[in-house]
Structure 1
């Protein structure tokens, strides 16, 4: 089949990769000149297969008043008159129950474990693909004893789902990651997961593009995707400027742009952008930076090492589609880095800044699979987990397109009106 993939971020490119491997002719369309120009550009770099629990959880609503009252809080909400924003918020609040959170976590773990297997296979099979991939392991730090106890209880639950994790004392955390020595007294404990990886999402996407071009995949960059238009027999076509583009099948992998693209077709996707920020530090020869993937649970900031670079990412701003960065949020990330790893980046200006929009669903699960239109498919709504879930999501999509879906996964992520 001739399949057109809309979107050249990590979800669109992995979709194209696995569709091509399945024998399909693939074209990738994107409005930017370069692949991975938006959300995939400054991704946090953590492939966190065991940390996929949704933001919507039983304890989140009680934290929101404190979070929303502080300018440096990990989550910030800027109310607007947009019905889209308020509908998303209501659905998010309804998802903040223990049963719903546990169910979503189970489903996401099944997809993330598939993604881990496929990512490791891809690394072995595509030897020319160089994207700073590392079996780094991940350490989640807790500064509060009560939060650490809750994490231990969650660890026991996640073990029943196949996660291999260890609870560590403060001293054990520092022994495992010596770059934390200066904050030893502030650490209540940590959860260590040896099976987690780190990698540069942007380099991964650029590498996939090179592989795909060499294998005959067409890329139509600098091409606007203005609309999807109904045709006959329950199909749609792509409208770009004055041109209508037809395809046997169309895969929408456009992140936050998918919701507005599909709305005129009568498809309401529960997707809204969560603005995030990242910094990338170039490490000097004497820098003391973490080699592990590290997450500061209290601050909701993640740290990932790419060779001689350190990626720092965090924040979730619910304030619309603007990509305008907030200097206060960037300053907060710099301050967190200087506090946790004071010897990693002594020059506060030596960091490149990035702002991006994560396409989040209220329940935290992506939407993958067919739509009511015969030739229209979705692979969207991955939130902050796009890189982690990319390979599994693409493989799931391909199995559906090839009419051999995995029943253990397909019903969990399919689109429904």
Structure 2
């Protein structure tokens, strides 16, 4: 069987890996010239297998005015004459209720557990050099009320097998000494010892090398523009380099999936949430730079150690497909690093700024499998939001299983 995977981000590459592992012939198509060049390469680097609270949560209603109106807000909305943006936003607000959030949490945790198994099996088999570390994760909360809400979420996640602990600011410093200067701003934290981090760009580069060595064909720098369809089946994907024929097709183009699906008359609930990151060289002074992954819940900023570097990432903007990098957003991430880990970087001027468009669904659940009104030989694997790295091998295994049936 020949499968064409549209998308060379971490989700598309994981899908290609699982398909090739089952003996299928695979072609990977992407408009970027390098795998991982979209939302994957500079992402937050955290593999959050046990802490997956969806963005759509009942608590968002109380925060909404400040999130939308504050000039320093990590959330930004730029309304556009785009029905898809408005529809997505309304569906997101409808999903901001306790019942939907709890259902999404359970589904995401189950998928994350499957993804962890697949990713770690791949790492053991391929020995990729990707700065992988199993150092655990701390999520910091600035107020007692926020910490109480986090403990309730922890209890919910515990029902699905997550092993976590609610801890004091003092205990945070014992786990991560680099937080000593910031402890007075912490009301409490959730500690997940089993969480991991890795450089997603290095994973993408490593997977490409492995797959090419095993005969997977990469057609990069090539945009998919539509499909040739006959008898309810796709015969070929039309691209800027010509038609590519295959037996099965997997749509894993992240935030670009919606536009390509529209050429088939399909509407996918996927909209880009723009995020930013900076990557700094870690200070060599012991206890200055973090070793444990840290999320500052109030700032909605994550910190992940990648070898001798620190990745700082955050923000969620509904601004369409705009990939410009405003200096104010990069300054905000630099100030977060300065506030939380004041001695953690060897220099705060070499920031290596990045922006990416996370493909988000209103509920936070990815879109995986066949579309009820789509061609019979098309499978979807998109809409992972900020959890693309975490969930990639879980959804890849699901798609591979469907194609193997």
TM-score bracket relative to the smaller structure:
over 0.9
In structure 2, what is the equivalent of residue 369 of structure 1? Answer: 369
1:228 corresponds to 2:202: no
CA contact (8 A) 1:7 1:29 kept: yes
**How far apart, in 2, do the equivalents of 1:221 and 1:244 lie?**
14
Are the equivalent residues in 2 in contact too, given 1:275–1:357 (CA < 8 A)? yes
Following superposition, which runs of at least 4 residues in structure 1 exceed 4 angstroms of deviation?
none
Per-residue CA deviation, residues 128-168 of structure 1 (Å, 9 max, x unaligned), is x1101111100111111111111112211111110000111
| Paired residues for 1:42-53 under 5 Å | 42-53=42-53
Residue 237 of structure 2 is matched in structure 1 by 238
Q: Is 1:101 equivalent to 2:101 in the alignment?
A: yes
SS of aligned partner of 1:237: strand
Q: CA deviation at 1:233?
A: 4.2
Q: Residues 174-323 of structure 1 correspond to what in structure 2 (within 5 A)?
A: 174-241=173-240, 243-286=242-285, 288-323=288-323
1:233 and 1:257 map into 2 onto residues whose CA distance is 23
The TM-score normalised by the length of structure 1 is: 0.94
RMSD of equivalent CA atoms? 1.2
Task: Give, in angstroms, the shift of residue 229 of structure 1.
Answer: 3.2
- Contact 2:235–2:247, Cα closer than 8 Å, also in 1: no
Q: Assess if the C-alpha contact under 8 Å between 2:44 and 2:312 holds in 1.
A: yes
Cα deviation digits, residues 342-370 of structure 1 (max 9, x gap): 00125321210000100000111001112
Alignment-derived partner of residue 26 in structure 1: 26
The match for 2:385 among 383, 386, 393 is: 383
The answer to whether the 8 Å contact 2:281/2:347 transfers is: no
Deviates more, 1:229-238 or 1:256-265: 229-238
Give the C-alpha shift of residue 236 in structure 1.
Answer: 4.6
Work out the CA distance in 1 between the residues paired with 2:241 and 2:386: 35
CA–CA distance in structure 1, aligned partners of residues 143 and 87 of structure 2: 33
Whether the 8 Å contact between 1:2 and 1:24 is mirrored in structure 2 is yes
SS at structure 2 position matched to 1:265: coil
Q: CA deviation at 1:216?
A: 0.9
- Give the aligned length: 402
Aligned to 1:329: 329
Tell me the distance in 2 between the aligned counterparts of 1:198 and 1:136. 8
The equivalent residue for 1:4 is: 4
Closer/same/farther in 2, CA of residues 284 and 169 from structure 1, 3 Å limit = closer
Conserved 8 A contact 2:366-2:383: yes
Compute the displacement of 1:61 (Å).
2.0
* Alpha-carbon distance between aligned partners in 2 of 1:355 and 1:26, rounded to the nearest angstrom: 29
For residues 161 and 334 of structure 1, what CA distance do their matches in structure 2 show?
36
1:126 is the counterpart of 2:126: yes
Does the C-alpha gap of structure 1 residues 286 and 240 become closer, same or farther in structure 2, counting only changes over 3 Å? same
Contact 1:253-1:380 at 8 Å conserved across structures: yes
User: What CA distance in whole angstroms lies between the structure 2 residues aligned with 1:161 and 1:94?
Assistant: 25
Quote the residue 2:339 is aligned against: 339
Aligned to 1:110: 110
Aligned to 2:38: 38
Query: Per the alignment, in what secondary structure is the counterpart of residue 352 of structure 1?
Result: coil
* 1-structure distance, mates of 2:162, 2:180: 27
Q: Distance in 1 between matches of 2:64 and 2:227?
A: 38
Q: 1:167-196 CA distances to partner (integer Å, 9 max, x unpaired)?
A: 111110111100000112111111100110
Q: Deviation at 1:336?
A: 0.7
Contact 1:72 1:329 in 2 (8 A): no
TM-score (ref. length: structure 2): 0.97
1:328 Cα deviation from its structure 2 partner: 1.2
Q: Which runs of 5+ in 2 are unaligned?
A: none
Q: 1:124 to 1:243 in 2, by over 3 A?
A: closer
Which blocks of at least 5 consecutive residues in structure 1 are unaligned?
Answer: 404-417
